[in-house]
Structure 1
């Protein structure tokens, strides 16, 4: 999941969330980020090793599977289960949950309103560059982040589940698409910080840390691949830099050489 966590406290039992809902109890997508304070203690539970409890809390908090970060949380946990077991059924179930997460994220994303805009955006890249990200509201940016994370997870699951070359190439292209999107979001952060003379306070920490974590992990994993595999990955436009990846991961948690403890949420950029 995206965002920051610090501590091992166990989250209390979660019932159906009343946040981000109107008076009738209907979920309001434009208020999706109100749920982040509920998700953070569940993330703490997950990071403390109680995956089963965290999964139950995610199911109980959003039984309809309609909210952004509850859906992503379930996607992450089910995918980890599949990666650990490598059972065909677990991989299949995780793929289905990741598809659902993608549909939820898609419903929250910024949409091009007309066919003319789609064609224009394709030619000018106005619907894929940093200007496109800048024009989003906070919920749409988080939705974009969640969508790309689901795309990465689903692609890896698809490669493991199928095992054939056609599926490998198809999912490799999805991985490339997500990788480019992460880089674009990271470039948006850099541009925003430069425009703000060092650090843009208007960009929330959960989005910032999610983007930096995604960029860093993509690059770090690629840097650890055997040379022959990395050469193949580079054909799809992937690049891995271990040093820069570790710098980004340090920055997310506020780690410095001068302290044994991280300063989560600090404003130091690399």
Structure 2
């Protein structure tokens, strides 16, 4: 059978094609060989040899559970990367086959008897080590299939079907964790992979269930499984330190949490693991791995080392061309590096590249490009043949839907674009200040006092022209935006009492704000974090709980996630 070989995408579409050469396929493979050979395929992938990795794994992916699992991970990742319909369909077909392969090696039980119940009745000795591995591979594959369902289908039925699969996967991991404690010593080299697989599964599910508010968890069929954030992070860290085949997945999940989720949603008080030292140990083994180099660039960006971050992100772009969509992640980070430093021409360059080449969120990319152009001279805008008003007007038509709903960040961009498409209803820096806040920009630059001061100057310039506001409808809203952002900068500069003053100015204008109603609940959130930072825990909790009284404002779901995590952090027992 011929299968597609991955080739570089054309400018018109992000489509991959495959073709495998004739490779003699053995009829069977034992567990140690399965793990060893699958690890070689994984290492090829981590060396940016994506087609070679797939070629090495495919011949045995219907005969070896680990070949199937690693092959499935790569194919599903590719589908999420390209968002190409054919790649998504191929990933879906592949995962069906992967699940069948894993099923062949699982302990045969009745429909009403789980593995844990069977072992409880007959003893753990009835289970072969290979069958334990099969349970974990099946659980991981089920999670991949569930995530793919959400990508492929956009209806409530698919959401529920995906939730059921996630719930089943979680239950298998929990059973395996419990059974592993009573596992006999198989005296094999493969047992460490059981431990690593369990740490990955338990870690990632504890992370998910700790991050997601209870109402959403109930829809995902995680009822009765409260997550523990620190347990999740610790399990992943231990998994990343291990020599199991899942160690790289543990590392990348930790990176995703600390570098994105925590930055966007966290309080900054979460337990810290030495992610940088861990990442450097992996980079010594895979110095040119595009994923690891990207992670190191992002970590340096979060530390405020923007020049070095830019070098690492540029290195990522030149490391491989086979999957050009990986370049888009670099374009996004580079755009923000330059926004933080107010280097608008360079920021525009990468925003424009995203608009041209990436499918992920055309609405957001177009909005970002238009916002950046508002900070550039008219001569430059004309020289690149752009029209700011036209760009803002395009945003709404570029929105996408997931499960029948538009993305909150795209809804926000479309709403603001309606106003900014006019030329007289806003001040010069207003769009970029709002963009910085929505994408947690001020939090990212908090370690760079020089840049915070630079942005504070921009905010204070806006503050001085507000009394001259001609558009009376937006005057109070615009003042409150400036107050919120000035309070945020003052907080990160250590001027707490002044920061609190500005947050309270927003709150006292609750009844007079006409359009940007998100400002008041977000001001309560920032005030609550400030109070907690100063040691006023009970006051902070009361402040955050007040946010539940606000409904139907922009970025509401994001704030509810933030409040959920903040309260969880503030109320946990030491």
Same fold, TM exceeding 0.5? yes
- 2: CA distance between counterparts of 1:87 and 1:132? 47
CA-based RMSD of the aligned residues comes to 3.5
Q: Say if 1:171 and 1:120 are closer, same or farther in 2 by CA, change over 3 A.
A: closer
Q: Is the Cα contact below 8 Å between 1:130 and 1:188 reproduced in 2? A: no
- Counterpart secondary structure, 1:141: helix
* Greater shift in the superposed pair: 71-80 or 201-210: 201-210
Which residue of the partner structure matches residue 27 of structure 1? 28
Aligned-residue offset at 1:178: 0.8
How many matched pairs? 229
Which residue of the partner structure matches residue 209 of structure 2? 222
> What per-residue deviation string (whole Å, max 9, x for no partner) do you get for residues 129-164 of structure 1?
697765321111111111111111111111221111
Which one has the largest radius of gyration? 2
2:111 aligned with 1:110: no
Aligned-residue offset at 1:188: 1.5
Q: Say if 1:138 and 1:154 are closer, same or farther in 2 by CA, change over 3 A.
A: same
Which residue of the partner structure matches residue 126 of structure 2? 135
Where in structure 2 are there 5+ consecutive unaligned residues?
Answer: 1-20, 243-272, 283-574
| Aligned residue among 75, 89, 92 for 1:95 | 92
TM-score, structure 1 normalization: 0.70
Q: Is the Cα contact below 8 Å between 1:79 and 1:94 reproduced in 2? A: yes
Q: Equivalent residues in 2 for 1:255-266 (5 A)?
A: 260=277
- Counterpart secondary structure, 1:121: coil
2:226 aligned with 1:239: yes
Q: Say if 1:130 and 1:83 are closer, same or farther in 2 by CA, change over 3 A.
A: farther
2:245 aligned with 1:254: no
Q: Say if 1:254 and 1:131 are closer, same or farther in 2 by CA, change over 3 A.
A: farther
Q: Say if 1:177 and 1:249 are closer, same or farther in 2 by CA, change over 3 A.
A: same
**Structure showing the higher helix proportion among its residues:** 2
| Aligned residue among 124, 132, 157 for 2:148 | 157
Q: RCO higher in 1 or 2 (8 Å CA, sep ≥ 6)?
A: 1
2:195 aligned with 1:208: yes
Q: Say if 1:245 and 1:17 are closer, same or farther in 2 by CA, change over 3 A.
A: farther
Which residue of the partner structure matches residue 8 of structure 1? none
- 2: CA distance between counterparts of 1:249 and 1:100? 28
Which residue of the partner structure matches residue 165 of structure 2? 174
- 1: CA distance between counterparts of 2:76 and 2:48? 15
- Counterpart secondary structure, 1:110: coil
- 2: CA distance between counterparts of 1:234 and 1:55? 33
Q: Say if 1:119 and 1:219 are closer, same or farther in 2 by CA, change over 3 A.
A: closer
Q: Is the Cα contact below 8 Å between 1:182 and 1:211 reproduced in 2? A: yes
